[in-house]
Amino acid sequence: MSDLDLYLIHNLDRRAPSPDLAAQLTSQLNAAADPVARQRLDTARAVLGDPQRRQAYDAQLADPAAPPITEQTLAALTGRSAPVQAKSSAFARPRVLAALAAFLGVLLIVVVSAVACSGSDDDSDNRTRDAATPGTPSTLTTEQKKSAVVYNAEYRSEDVSFVPGASIRVDARLDLESTARKLGWTGTDFGSKGDTDLTIRRIKSSADLELSWCEPMYAGRKNIQCFVITVSPDLRLLSDAVTSQSELSTRLSKETKVNGAATYLRVPSGGQWPTDAVTVKNGDTKLSAPALVSGANAGTGYFVVPGSFEIYRGTAVWD
């Protein structure tokens, strides 16, 4: 059973403070009409809007050994009742039970017949055993283990002792330096020194990645240029453009986007990263990434690294 990830379900930024999450959930609650949806939104607000409850929830969500997070888990955490879907009418229930009974009767006949046909051939039984057979590695264990999402590999800026339970394994990278230079970018970094504000967005409808940044905005400087690059989920360059700062908004996609934010990530040790981007603490590699955004699959993420013109695609994996 998978976890109820309130951030994904309600399209919330995991890094936003609790008061902001509470305000967003309140807005969604005010717009919801379905009673069950309203109850779930109210529960989500009670969890994520309270720092202590949120901390307990986040800890269980990030722990692969913890029990799955269900409606009942959230109810226990908030002291509220779990949502209950409307029951089917009494008129329909007997029909459903009768159909179920008939199906089980047919299934029993099929099972008995299959056992009778196969019981005389022990060798055949041995040859057809698979990984789910008791005594062998079972696929059930893998199915029950929680899947990591990219934010499981993110350090918490407010907790210096926190170490993420997952790390991001880099699967692919795309060097954008030649494209940036062609557009006229003369800087030495890619959004890392505080003089370049790099943003990564994932366009929901296509899952393409949109990167944008502007020249340093020194006092009195005019005619500031901005740059926009779009790449596909598999890191193929799709488009590039240069525009003035005043017209940047017209160059960006008008579709709803998922934005990235400044963060630190845990990555496997030994990676070839720019030297000014990595600090090693307690044997872990802590990578500064100006922006991180999850892909259409929450287990996949995209980020850039200070001092580099490369965009990376990685998969979150538990240790």
Contact in structure between 274 and 217 (CB atoms under 8 Å)? no
Average pLDDT over residues 193-199: 64
Boundary-marking domain end, from 15, 48, 78: 78
- For strand 310-318 and strand 300-304, is the pairing parallel, antiparallel, or unpaired? antiparallel
pLDDT at 41: 92
On whether both 196 and 301 belong to a single domain, the answer is yes
Contact in structure between 288 and 308 (CB atoms under 8 Å)? no
**Dihedral angle sign, alpha carbons of residues 190, 13, 51, 69:** negative
On whether both 65 and 154 belong to a single domain, the answer is no
Residue at 103 is within a domain: no
Range of the domain at 31: 6-78
pLDDT, tens digit, 9 for 90 and up, residues 121-179: 433 322 222 222 233 333 333 333 578 888 888 887 667 778 888 889 999 999 998 99
Residue at 130 is within a domain: no
Is 0.75 topped by the overall pTM? no
Least confident of 53-67, 105-119, 139-153, 239-253: 105-119
DSSP 210: E
On whether both 62 and 154 belong to a single domain, the answer is no
Least confident of 78-82, 252-256, 263-267: 78-82
Residue at 123 is within a domain: no
Q: Looking at the 3D structure of the chain, how many domains does it have?
A: 2
On whether both 159 and 290 belong to a single domain, the answer is yes
Confidence tier at 40 by pLDDT (50, 70, 90) = very high
Residue at 91 is within a domain: no
Q: Over 70: is that where the pLDDT of 3 sits?
A: yes
Average pLDDT over residues 41-69: 87
Contact in structure between 82 and 75 (CB atoms under 8 Å)? yes
Torsion, Cα of 160, 166, 168, 171 (10° steps): 170
On whether both 213 and 298 belong to a single domain, the answer is yes
Residue at 247 is within a domain: yes
pLDDT at 123: 34
On whether both 309 and 166 belong to a single domain, the answer is yes
